[in-house]
Amino acid sequence: MYGSQGWWPLIEHNGTNPTKSGSIQGYHPNDYSFPKTKKQQFEICVGAILTQNTNFSSVEKSLINLNKHNLLKVDNLLNASEENIKQIITPSGYQNQKTKYLKVFASFFSQLSGRIPSRKDLLDLKGIGPETADAILLYAFAQPEFVIDVYTKRVFQHFGILENTEKYEDWKNFFHESLQTEKQKIQIYQEYHALIVEHAKRYYVKKPHGTQCPLKKFLQTQIQSK
């Protein structure tokens, strides 16, 4: 129903017909060949950190600001002063801590020199938790790591699939086990998470969550009474 979501959005790309509106027109539906450059790869990582507990439309402003100052290049971000970065990423909030997170990650990223980071190495970085690590791995490095966010939990706990109190890894295992396809796995993981977010934004923001959810038509028998 919603169609391809075109995640992860990029502020500059050569994709054709970005259909989704937004301040950066960066979505690229049905094109899973991104990131194409190291700068785009780094931009996705920066966006994943900036979007923690923040609306992505606010993150877009910060990303545009960063790009305007040419700070989406790793080396330039490493050389920038913290005060400068703080001011530039103010629109997306938490600028004091996120500036430090970006500095730490930029240092890590530059030392990768093209290699794919391990999940554990990412989690050891201050400011990178399980969700941000998986978002970076899935969308920036095309690794098969399903992303679990608050929306995912909201939708699937509504139908009694799992409880919100389950651990992050348990939620992730459920999706990995349910999506055991070798074919197009990365695309499916990327698309499915984006679709969950889109769906949850429509039916799981206002409380009580999910009252108008059209999936009830298919899953009603699984709703657990409380």
Partner DNA sequence: AACCAGGACGTGA
Partner DNA sequence: TCACGTCATGGT
| Between 40 and 95, CB nearer to DNA | 95
Closest distance between DNA and the C-beta of residue 49, in Å? Answer: 8
Distances in Å between the alpha carbon of 72 and those of 8, 10, 23, 149?
16, 11, 18, 25
Closest distance between DNA and the C-beta of residue 221, in Å? Answer: 27
Closest CA to 141 of 102, 115, 120, 168: 115
| Between 32 and 94, CB nearer to DNA | 94
Task: Please report, as residue ranges, which positions from 95 to 124 form the binding site for DNA (by CB under 7 A).
Answer: 95-98
* Three-class SS state of 141: coil
| Between 75 and 169, CB nearer to DNA | 169
Closest CA to 213 of 221, 198, 203, 199: 203
| Between 150 and 223, CB nearer to DNA | 150
Question: Any contact of residue 94 with DNA (CB under 7 A)?
Answer: yes
Query: How far apart, in whole angstroms, are the C-alpha atoms of residue 77 and residue 12?
Result: 18
Closest distance between DNA and the C-beta of residue 198, in Å? Answer: 9
Question: Any contact of residue 29 with DNA (CB under 7 A)?
Answer: no
**Under 8 Å CB-to-CB from 45, ≥6 apart: which residues?**
105, 109, 136, 140
| Between 55 and 224, CB nearer to DNA | 55
Query: How far apart, in whole angstroms, are the C-alpha atoms of residue 171 and residue 52?
Result: 19
Question: Any contact of residue 165 with DNA (CB under 7 A)?
Answer: yes
Closest distance between DNA and the C-beta of residue 19, in Å? Answer: 14
Closest CA to 45 of 96, 120, 102: 102
Question: Any contact of residue 47 with DNA (CB under 7 A)?
Answer: yes
150-158 and 185-203 helices, crossing angle to 10°: 70
**Contact set with DNA (CB under 7 A):** 7-9, 47-48, 51-58, 90-91, 93-98, 125-133, 135, 139, 149-151, 165, 167, 197, 201, 205, 207
